[in-house]
Amino acid sequence: MTEMKKGVLVGGSGLIGGTIVNYYKKYPDLAVDIRAPSSKKLSIRVSEDICDYIRQVKPDFIINAAMANLGADGKLSCEVNYLGAINLARAALSLGIPLIHISSSATLPVGENLSEDDTVPLTPGLSNYAKSKLMAEITLKKMAQEQGLDYTCIRLAIVYGAHDHKIQGFHRMLFSIADESMPVLFTKKNTLHSYSNSRKLPYFIDYILGKRNEFSGQTYHFVDPDAVDLATLILKVKSYLNLNKPREIYAPFWLANLGTKSLNVMLRVLRQVGLQASMPPELMFLENFYKPQTLSATKLQESSFIDPFPGETVFTRLPDLVVYYITRWDHENLIMGFKECFDTEKSLESIFCDNPIDLVEEVHKEGVGPYEQLTQS
């Protein structure tokens, strides 16, 4: 009988952490007891909390998927994204167990076919998010070289997947289109970006935990092999939703930037009279909408890991993601009057045409046995 292993995952309430937790629950044969304590039970900002919890659980590995909000101030970004990551690394080092650290493409410059070594310089001018993530990568690498830390750093690009309870990143774009609050395309033609499939990530993590000789001390770009044109993706979502906006008009960067600055001024005025108002944190990456950033997947492809869903991309997942999120946002009354716009039959046709495997799996899940009312007659 396979001995049950224990793992501690921090950041289980997010899209990435939740996907990993659900993966281990879905496949009990993997014999992994995954613990995902809430921030109330375990604060990675407090080293004593970590030591007490790790001493109690005695895990076989740690996964760090925690992150402060994109718009968090310097103190919170530093304490969660940097010092928290190092606290977990020190705990893993003390027990001699692997640490899987989830990082971000925010540590990379703009450009195409970026390798794992192409990080931006660490400067005060970086955003709090990028700065803290880069600092964590630098220190983890030093701990591996000088202290023997067994870790793997996984860099993600634009993440897509279901069951994200926050409207952020890729799902912020989807929401903006569905809410018809995106009048034109805030990008330029042929602006390519890399995308990361959250559904594939747990398979990679589970695999590399069993192959430490190959993956220890390494950084990997966990991205789809082919980059995606942002405008093409936006227009594809618009087509699925059968909407008139955004128009296929490319707003220049100076205009988009001017609009952002003007909105910032308005929000400051509103806050002064006591109204709660803030900018979407993704707008700190506005310039990236107009510049390409594609991550090389060569190192990942040349490793021994085999992609569990090689034909799956953001485009093949798009139909079911659209249905999932639009249905949820409609139930939560976040998108008003959308029932008139959402063409269910068109969405079913889109899934059939673009992602037949998922449709087959869904039909099987709903049941393909005999009709009870017929067998009983």
* Full set of structural domains in the chain with CATH: 1-157+194-224+295-309 (3.40.50.720)
pLDDT band of 172, cuts 50, 70, 90? confident
- The residue whose two tokens read 């109690």 is 56
Question: Above 80 in pLDDT, residue 149?
Answer: yes
Which of these ranges, 88-102, 135-149, 326-340, has the smallest mean pLDDT?
Answer: 326-340
8 A C-beta contact, residue 256 and residue 335? no
Which of these ranges, 193-202, 262-271, 322-331, has the smallest mean pLDDT?
Answer: 262-271
pLDDT band of 256, cuts 50, 70, 90? low
Higher-confidence position of 252 and 212? 212
pLDDT band of 3, cuts 50, 70, 90? confident
- Of the candidates 108, 110, 151, 100, the residue with the CA atom closest to the CA atom of residue 129: 108
The mean pLDDT value of the chain amounts to: 83
In sequence order, the β-bridge partners of residue 155 are: 103, 221
Question: Above 70 in pLDDT, residue 338?
Answer: no
Average pLDDT over residues 293-321: 93
Question: Above 80 in pLDDT, residue 241?
Answer: yes
pTM of the model: 0.83
- Of the candidates 80, 55, 209, 212, the residue with the CA atom closest to the CA atom of residue 144: 212
